[in-house]
Amino acid sequence: MARYTLIVGTRNWSSWSLRPYMALKATGAPFEVADIRLRQTDSPTTREQILKYSPAGKVPVLKVDEDGTVLTVWDSLAICETVAERHPEAGLWPKDPAARATARSYACEMHSGFPDVRDQLTLDFARSQEMPELRPETKTQIERILSAWDGALADYKGEFLFGNFSVADCMYAPVVSRFLTYGVETSAAVKAYMDRVMALPGMQEWRRCAQAEVDAGIV
pTM of the model: 0.97
Summarize pLDDT for 35-74 with one digit per residue, the tens.
999 998 998 999 999 999 988 999 999 999 999 999 999 9
Backbone angles phi and psi of 116, in degrees to 5 = -75, -35
> What pLDDT does residue 55 have?
87
For residues 160 and 157, what is the distance between their CA atoms, to the nearest angstrom? 8
Summarize pLDDT for 148-200 with one digit per residue, the tens.
999 999 999 999 999 999 999 999 999 999 999 999 999 999 999 999 999 99
Summarize pLDDT for 79-138 with one digit per residue, the tens.
999 999 999 999 999 999 999 999 999 999 999 999 999 999 999 999 999 999 999 999
Query: 169 Cβ partners below 8 Å, 6+ apart?
Result: 22, 160, 161, 162, 197
Nearest to 171 by CA among 48, 26, 40, 10: 26
Backbone angles phi and psi of 134, in degrees to 5 = -80, 140
> What pLDDT does residue 125 have?
98
1 pLDDT more than 90: no
> What pLDDT does residue 50 have?
93
> What pLDDT does residue 128 have?
97
Q: What residue ranges of the chain are covered by domains with CATH 3.40.30.10?
A: 3-89
Mean pLDDT for 12-38 is: 97
Question: Residue 147: pLDDT band by 50, 70, 90 thresholds?
Answer: very high
76 pLDDT more than 90: yes
Question: Residue 2: pLDDT band by 50, 70, 90 thresholds?
Answer: very high
Q: What class has domain 93-202? A: mainly alpha
The CATH code of the domain at 3-89 is 3.40.30.10
Q: What residue ranges of the chain are covered by domains with CATH 1.20.1050.10?
A: 93-202
> What pLDDT does residue 43 have?
87
